[in-house]
Amino acid sequence: MSASSAALTFELVARCSTTRARASILTLPHGPVNLPIFMPVATQASLKGLTPDQLEGTGCRLCLNNTYHLGLKPGQEVLDAVGGAHKLQGWNHNILTDSGGFQMVSLLKLANITEEGVRFLSPHDGTPMLLTPEHSMSLQNSIGSDIMMQLDDVLVTTSPDKVRMREAMERSVRWLDRCIAAHKYPDRQNLFCIIQGGLDLDMRRECCREMLARDTPGIAIGGLSGGEAKDDFCKVVAACTELLPDLKPRYVMGIGYPEDLVVSVALGADMFDCVWPTRTARFGNAITKHGVLNMKREVYAADFGPIEEGCGCPCCRPVEEDGAMGITRAFIHHNAAKETVAAHLLTLHNVWYQLSLMGQAREAIIADRFPAFVKEFFGNLYPDRTSYPSWAVDALRRVGIDLMET
């Protein structure tokens, strides 16, 4: 089954016969993307620690850029002059840009949201600035991203203010209408809506219905990863995916922990992003199937094995293989505290791990062995079943996987 819009084709390749997991192909202006997918975050048109060639080598075909940061520097005039972010960063694959609203609310203390837009003070010189839905669309049109996100009214899910939460949800719908009207290039850029509503499932469902009536090429579930309990997170994702159409991509914004990705795929989501894998690399942490390893620990000082045994990334493969480096844990440990090379190598490994994890999930869905894949994943990550997080056990049980089953 497949469906197309002006700048996007979505083909549903396979479904898990037990859970809601799906495997699909998303074709965008800069090429096809296999789903489910983890999208690395190249905030300012570069992924910290990797060249575009290295990022391409991980198999990444869709990464994130940040509208807020690119709008400040290099700025819209430079983006227009160079012909957009693809040319600016030498990236021939797909780009997704957020709207810029989340950064202003989360990073800037002096942000004030009104019906007009988000008012804030420039972090550079303190100049009062205003980001409206129209300006967000204009910036993203200049960036030239393959997927652009609507400006939404973002409120942390843990906010107890139900009145403000409803205001944010309803305003996000109105702002989507303004984004659609202001979007100049729907023939070559895809505008995704963002479902809001906090942890109130009825409000989320109401927002779903309103957003779906606008018929955008893809749909995002926003406002999560804000400190809410994981059980609540899963209930929101499940409630939304239940209502979403089969033939459109589903994007859960801002999640990156491996267990979050695997559970969200089981709940029917397709796309994910987070800065965590690259950020944690800069603290000396390697993501592996057995959990996160801090390579600064003295235990790795004379460990001459790869970062992760069996990993296919260039760092971990034996140096005798083509394009491989044969990096040891001891080398990473030696450099982790004082040299940037360790951060670069761990970034490469971590991005590879995340993309490989989603690739393995996809293969398991196509082969209809996804429940076995999920059980193996949790079995590797935790020493015994009693250690499994209860939120994951409960969420997976609701879609037909019993992790506690022998």
Residue numbers in the known binding site for Zn(2+) are 311, 313, 316, 349
Residues labelled catalytic: 98, 273
Task: Using DSSP, state whether 247 is helix, strand or coil.
Answer: coil
Task: Using DSSP, state whether 49 is helix, strand or coil.
Answer: coil
Q: Where are the alpha helices (DSSP H) in 244-339?
A: 258-266, 276-281, 329-336
Give the DSSP letter of residue 20: S
CA 358 vs CA 38, 71, 234, 270, 397: distances in Å: 7, 31, 18, 9, 21
Backbone region of residue 228 per phi and psi (left: phi > 0; alpha: psi in -120 to 50; beta: other values): beta
Alpha-carbon 82 to chain mean position: 27
The answer to whether 203 and 209 are in contact (CB under 8 A) is no
Distance (Å, whole) CA 21 – CA 399: 9
- Distance from the first to the final alpha carbon of the chain: 36
Give the DSSP letter of residue 75: I
What dihedral do alpha carbons 248, 249, 253, 255 form, nearest 10°? 140
Question: 359 is written with which tokens?
Answer: 């690739």
